[in-house]
Structures are given as C-alpha cells and as structure tokens.
Structure 1
Amino acid sequence: MPRELVIISRRPVDLADHLVAAVEIDPNLGLRTVWNGGGTQVCAVDGTALLTVLRTKGFDVADDVERLLGASLAADQVFWTELYAPRGPAGAVGTTIAQALAATVGGTLFQRSDP
C-alpha cells in the first residue's frame, strides 16, 4: 500500500510546480503524465515512479477537510491535491519531493497513512 499524502494550498498545483519541486531534489528526475492527464508521476532516471500527483481539486466546505485531516485550515486554503509515494526508499524520496512541492505552492503537506 502506498504512502497517501495531501497538499492543501491557496492555489492549484500545476505541471510547472511539479518540475520545480523535482529539480530542487534531483535535476535528473523526469515527469510523465498518467490517466489521460488525471495525474503526473515524478520518476527516477530508470523510470521508477517516486511520486504520483493527482489533479488538484477545489473545495467549498473546510469543515470536511479539517475533519479528514485533523487540522485547522486558513480560510484561503481551498485546494486539495492528492499524492501517492511507494513504500521503501523510493517512497522516502517521493515524500521529500512532496515536501518540496508543498513549499513551492505555499501549501501544507499532510500524510494520511503510515510511512
């Protein structure tokens, strides 16, 4: 079972953000689109998926998000982006990329499953 992560942010996460975060961790990482544009994977040189980022969704009811994540949100944090990283060393790198991605968009990263 993969590591389940969520970024809550003030703006949607886009492909340029994925690239900025990936290059910050390792300039040799690549991106590939999956599910007809429904997500993007950050990949190692050998093609191993380190992090899968799904398309950002907006939300209207902060109470539901706060209940799901167990944390209070700022009023302007209205975008939810789901991310998945594999278990093991590749997942540790994926989580580091997710942290960089959250910082890139000025968001907050939440881990929804045990590492």
Structure 2
Amino acid sequence: MIGGLVARHTLKVHRAPVVDDGRGNLAADWSQVEPARESEGWALDVGNTVEDTTHRDGAMVEYTARGPFDADVRSTDRIELFGDLYEVSGDVRRQPGPTPRTSHTILTLTKWTG
C-alpha cells in the first residue's frame, strides 16, 4: 500500500445495489443508494480534462487514484472527491507488487461538467 504523505486523501464511496435492468443487463440502481463510507489512504494524480464544445461549456475532468490493494471499491461505485461525485471509468485495477507497500488499487475517476 502506498504510504506516507502521498496517500493522505480519503475518498467517500457511494454504492448502489446492482439489479436486473429489465433488458437482461445488470445495472446500479441509484434510487436505493447505500450510505457513503470512507476509504482512507489514497494518492491522487490529476488526469485529463477535455473540453466538449458540442455541448457548450462542457468538460470532462479526470483523476487517477491509487490506494490500498484490498480497498472495497467496484466499477459501479461513485466516488466523492473534493465534494464532487465521480464515476469509476473502466474497471477497478489491482496492481500487485513485490511487497504490500508497492501493491495498490488504481481507479480512473471521471466527471462531466457543463
């Protein structure tokens, strides 16, 4: 797990139950969201930001979060960071290392504005 001053951020994890969407797919049901819980020990890196001129003042904002290898996070969770909600883009990735200190979970967090 990444330690020290780098991994000083706490993420709030919002989770909804995954249900059948009526078309044979599983989807998060955000009308039944569970209370948010805190996940400590995350390092953050600023990611991309992309302007969306088609939708006026729209923009995509990304962060990369690296945290505990055994963090309880899923690709369907929403992550609260600095008061804003982000979606997990893609899947949750687990990076094994030769020691616990170098093993971590990687999330790409994305939100759209505008």
The TM-score with structure 2 as length reference comes to 0.31
Larger radius of gyration: 2
Give the structure, 1 or 2, with the largest relative contact order (CA under 8 Å, sep 6 or more).
1
